[in-house]
Amino acid sequence: MRFSTKAEYGLKAMTNLAQCYPAQKTIGEIAKEENISQKYLERLMGLLRNGEVVQSSKGKQGGYMLAKEPKKIPVGEIIELLDGDIAPMRCVGKFCSSEHKCPSSVVWNKLGVQIKKTLYSIKLNTLIK
């Protein structure tokens, strides 16, 4: 199972915001500090804003900040907002038309549950250095 660069960079940006919580930062500041393309980061922050884990303010003093305390934001939530459902195989759960006929689906479903459980048990505040 591989996570996309959206999940990787989004998690970096969220950790960056967690480090300065409750203050805000501009896209430019985050992009520079995390070595992420500003244009790409804008798209990611839009997804995170729609998922209500970040808030934005416009204008000269505008920027992004976490919508809630870092200890209340699970890493799994961030990854799912950016990458979609957490699943080790494409055929897990609602994506599998022959799940009940496939003996190996038990393995993939159990693995998916454990991965999701682990990612949701890690809160953003534990990533702050």
Q: Of 79, 80, 78, which is closest to residue 68 (Cα–Cα)?
A: 78
Query: In this structure, what are the phi and psi dihedrals at residue 123, rounded to the nearest 5 degrees?
Result: -95, 155
Task: Give per-residue pLDDT as tens, 85-113.
Answer: 887 776 665 656 666 677 777 888 888 88
Cα–Cα distance, 91 to 96 (Å, whole number): 4
Cα–Cα distance, 27 to 96 (Å, whole number): 39
Name the residue ranges covered by the structural domains of the chain.
5-127
pTM for the model: 0.87
Q: Which two three-digit tokens encode residue 79?
A: 């990854």
Task: Give per-residue pLDDT as tens, 11-68.
Answer: 999 999 999 999 999 999 999 999 999 999 999 999 999 999 999 998 888 899 999 9
The CATH architecture that domain 5-127 belongs to is: Orthogonal Bundle (1.10)
- Give strand pairing partners of 55: 65
